[in-house]
Amino acid sequence: MSELGLCSRREADEWIEKGWVIVDGVRIDTLGTKVLPEQQIEIDPAARAEQAKQVTILLHKPVGFVSGQAEDGYLPAITLITPENHWEGDRSGIRFSGMQLRALAPAGRLDIDSTGLLVLTQDGRVARQLIGENSDIDKEYLVRVTYGDQATDIDQSFPPESLATLRHGLSLDDVPLKPAMVSWQNGEQLRFVLREGKKRQIRRMCELVGLNVVGLKRVRMGRVQLGALPQGQWRYLDTEESF
């Protein structure tokens, strides 16, 4: 069921236990039941109704918050999901409920020193799409850098071959990185578009070619833009939006 994109594995377990899964007309309520490729899986409407209540939240994470569990005294980003921080520009029409915080988890990391778009979701399908093993969703970042003693006009002195290496040719933890799109936005800021997300990847990539990152902001995940969402505030993913 998870591989077919019907739900997350956790949801699949819950649906089976509730008798919401039907295989060739027979309700299945035993976990681990084997299903052959040619068999037909149907989902009870009650499961679809429950799934429709799940929310995905877009947060403009500030520096100083961790994406997941609290660590080293730093608060997790989910603590910012409050009625007070709900962006007044949200046009989704969804009303906030404390139940929406249940099983709400980040779909991808954004390190403590970085800002920008962080997705938190209850929907396993969204998490799989963004961070699943076969995800091909690209993420866009704006990265402010220094180069030696230079803080401006770095694009004029940074070697073109090093820029080419950033795009393709680096390895982290002895694993070659996938090709990336890297270009200068202005004299001190690079634009990165990645299709993977290793821990502190951009900072480590820049370090390998002599650049020091002084600011990093994620501005897009797939087709969803950070846009005008203010720092520290959040909004719901609209039903008309998709990554």
Span 1-40, pLDDT tens digits: 877 778 777 788 888 988 989 999 999 888 888 899 899 9
Percent of the chain that is helix, strand, coil (3-state, to 5): 25, 30, 50
Tokens 């236990």 belong to which residue? 17
pLDDT in tens, 124-150: 889 988 988 888 899 999 999 999 999
Q: In terms of domains, do 113 and 215 share one?
A: no
Residue 2 forms part of a structural domain: no
Q: In terms of domains, do 215 and 229 share one?
A: no
pLDDT greater than 90 at residue 115? yes
| Positions marked active-site | 111
Residue 1 forms part of a structural domain: no
Domain with 201 in it = 139-221
Q: In terms of domains, do 201 and 232 share one?
A: no
Segment holding 15, helix H or strand E: helix 9-17
In sequence order, the 6+-apart residues with CB closer than 8 A to the CB of 208 are: 165, 170
- Distance between CA atoms of residues 213 and 243, nearest Å: 27
pLDDT greater than 80 at residue 52? no
pLDDT greater than 90 at residue 206? yes
Tell me which of 135 and 82 has the higher pLDDT: 82
